[in-house]
Structure 1
């Protein structure tokens, strides 16, 4: 019985860590996308002012 509880606790801990990593990666992807769009817009504006 204790072995089953230990396995369940290990699985729970792994899922908790995995969830935190995935959530962190999602936020990093959102921030990266926003920065990419901002850089693209800045480049487009600068490109228009040169011509």
Structure 2
């Protein structure tokens, strides 16, 4: 999931350089959402991993 976030960030940067503002904003918002989902899943996996030990 972190790979998708990086992909959308790169897509947003490239679209912003070439002047596609709408596409850049959309890709940046998708990257932001995916990043937060990744962080939440990471924290949940840390908590669940500690309970099993």
Q: TM-score, normalised by structure 1?
A: 0.66
| Separation (CA, whole Å) in 2 of partners of 1:15 and 1:46 | 47
Gaps of 5+ in 2: 1-17
Describe the superposition over 1:6-45 as per-residue Cα deviations: whole angstroms up to 9, x where unpaired: xxxx84xx01000000000000000000000000000011
Taking only aligned residues, the RMSD between alpha carbons, in angstroms, comes to: 1.4
Aligned positions, number: 36
Which has the higher relative contact order, 1 or 2, with Cα contacts under 8 A spaced 6 or more apart? Answer: 2
Match of 2:11 in 1: none
Q: TM-score, normalised by structure 2?
A: 0.63
Task: State yes or no: 1:24 paired with 2:30.
Answer: yes
Mapping of residues 1-51 of structure 1, within 5 Å: 11=19, 14-47=20-53
Larger radius of gyration, structure 1 or 2? 1
- Runs of 4+ with deviation above 2 angstroms: none
